[in-house]
Amino acid sequence: MTILTAAIASQFARATLGHIGKPYPYKMDLVLNGPEDARIPAAFHPIFHGSFDWHSCVHGWWQIMRLARLFPDMAEAADIYARADEMLVPEKVAVERAFLDRPMSAAFERPYGWAWLLALHAELERHEGPWAAALEPLALAFADRFHSFLPKLTYPLRVGTHYNISFALVLAGDWAESRDPALTALIAQKAKGWFAQDRDCQAWEPGGDEFLSSALTEALLMSRILSKAEFTAWFDGFLPAAAQGRPASLFTPAIVSDRSDGKIAHLDGLNLSRAWCWRAIAAALGAEHPVSQPAEQTARFHLDASLPHVTGDYMGEHWLATFALLALE
């Protein structure tokens, strides 16, 4: 299986450095409250105004900061840290934070962008620079939003796009584990309430523009909140024929017919995120479990299908390296 090498890290970092500050094209998540709101994206988002959209810019920062930590000697590291010194500063964070107080902003980037911001903050805390402290007010604001939102989310969001709740709670849970025990408990409570009784998943996926597996992200979330024995018992009921490669939809890489179409290009992300999920699920089950080997093999198939297409077309290039990094680590 392909592993994360210094050469791949440099390739990803160069691509992402090329777009995290690229102002256009940019897709705003903005409700216009009056003519005064007709301003350029950077006026609202002085940090996260590149990479085509807010959440892609956030996780682009997560990706390059993680690569700089994992490969401190790569040529791009100095540029990454210089950019961080310029961009990840309290004054700019304050403007990003103020955006959340705008009228009709409660659902801004919910829950995908919220989760990636927490992941970025967690990554920054692993560095010696001042960037985590600068970003902390924004991270705490999104943690507060999870606290407010999850109790009223009666039904889980079982989709393969940005609204997927399982993926968001995997990232949010990683952040909360050592920082917010109340959020950790809330995530476990909600996940068990939604998913604990799920059995014999049919996995009607992929949808035509999905980049997350509803089935596998659910399983990944449950692996994080249950003990190994509990998770094994749950997984064996959730996907009882997985050792035999069924349902086949979860073991077959998606076909991407047009990588210049931003929505269809999501399917490359699905292949990469499935590779990440299958590898993590195999590790959670343990090498002795009959699903472990086919899960690892399936991860390889999915990674091989889409890793060559991480760069080349901007509709994928502005975000796919993040999911490739998840799959490769």
Question: Could you read off the pLDDT of 38-51 as tens digits, one per residue?
Answer: 999 999 999 999 99
Read off the pLDDT of each residue in 310-329 and give the average, rounded to a whole number.
96
Please tell me whether residues 92 and 171 are part of one structural domain.
no
Please tell me whether residues 210 and 312 are part of one structural domain.
yes
Please tell me the total count of domains within the chain.
Answer: 2
SS (H, E, C) 7-26: HHHHHHHHHHHCCCCCCCCC
pLDDT exceeds cutoff 90 at 70:
yes
Per-residue pLDDT at 1: 64
Please tell me whether residues 165 and 310 are part of one structural domain.
yes
* 121 within domain boundaries: no
Please tell me whether residues 48 and 171 are part of one structural domain.
no
CB within 8 Å of 92: residues ≥ 6 apart? 46, 47
Phi, psi of 64, deg, nearest 5: -70, -35
The two structure tokens encoding residue 239: 């996907």
Read off the pLDDT of each residue in 136-155 and give the average, rounded to a whole number.
98
* 205 within domain boundaries: yes
Please tell me whether residues 279 and 161 are part of one structural domain.
yes
Per-residue confidence at 36, pLDDT binned at 50, 70, 90?
very high
Read off the pLDDT of each residue in 107-136 and give the average, rounded to a whole number.
98
* 136 within domain boundaries: no
Give the residue numbers spanning the domain of 42.
1-107
- Helices 181-195 and 214-225, packing angle to 10 deg: 130
Please tell me whether residues 48 and 187 are part of one structural domain.
no
* 79 within domain boundaries: yes
Please tell me whether residues 165 and 278 are part of one structural domain.
yes
Cβ(71)–Cβ(9) below 8 Å? yes
Please tell me whether residues 225 and 318 are part of one structural domain.
yes
Q: From CA 220, how far away is CA 197, in angstroms rounded?
A: 15
* 118 within domain boundaries: no
* 161 within domain boundaries: yes
Give the tens place of pLDDT for each residue, 87-111: 999 999 999 999 999 999 999 999 9
Q: Indicate the residue among 75, 107, 139 that finishes a domain.
A: 107
The two structure tokens encoding residue 150: 């999850």
* 113 within domain boundaries: no
Q: From CA 95, how far away is CA 112, in angstroms rounded?
A: 20
Average pLDDT score, the chain: 97
Read off the pLDDT of each residue in 246-275 and give the average, rounded to a whole number.
97
Per-residue confidence at 2, pLDDT binned at 50, 70, 90?
confident
Q: From CA 114, how far away is CA 171, in angstroms rounded?
A: 9
Q: Which of 6, 54, 1, 57 is nearest to 327 (CA)?
A: 1
| Assessment of whether the complete model's pTM goes beyond 0.95 | yes
> What type of residue sits at position 131?
W
Q: From CA 93, how far away is CA 211, in angstroms rounded?
A: 29
Q: How many residues does the chain have?
A: 329
The two structure tokens encoding residue 26: 């940019």
* 273 within domain boundaries: yes
